[in-house]
Structure 1
Amino acid sequence: MTASDRNLRLDYLEFAVTDIAAAKAFYGAAFGWRFTDYGPDYCEFDDGRMKGGFHVQSAPRPGGALVILYADDLADARRRVQAAGGTITSELEFPGGRRFHFTDPSGYELAVWTDR
């Protein structure tokens, strides 16, 4: 298997918001972002170059958006994160893929996902 162009690169951002409609109205008006709704609790945005999402599953928290990297091989990425000193904090599956969240040695939370 060869690595894709996006392997182990920043791929997606997620913002916890209190009101998806308000977030869509703001980012649509301010920056011209386009949106795709995936139920009442999740909306994907597209700024024309990068995609991300708004969700209401958790409260907005200091530190801002969740930075998400893509991995061709999620198990390998998980091993690499742990070997480098990261701590896996959660794992989940969702329509279209699966991912894990981790904290780096400074305490920043990031995630790695795959559609494979």
Structure 2
Amino acid sequence: MNKHEKLNYVEFPSEDLPETKAFFEKAFSWTFVDYGPEYTAFSNQGLDGGFFKADMNSSTENGAALLVFYSSDLESTLEKVTKAGGEIVKPIFSFPGGRRFHFTEPCGNEFAVWSDKELD
């Protein structure tokens, strides 16, 4: 449901839309709807969004916002990300309130995954 003046949608660049789609399908079971050859959209992932064809990427290094996934099993999610072709750019680290890691998908967009679960 759309809510007045609340975040509703996010868009990311991708220089290779099929590669980006394949990564998110494999790592997180996302599905996409293509809107022509230069745009694809996802929904029902906590925040709807899409990827547009561009020769750039979104990373904290160049000042971009960081979108963060939640996981109840951080190590399992890290394994899925790497098996799908993601690159870990910050290995799991602790912070007040939990642990997290950062990764880039094959076209260089940076994301993070956090968990409030501590190691046993």
TM value normalised by structure 2: 0.45
The TM-score, its normalising length taken from structure 1, stands at 0.46
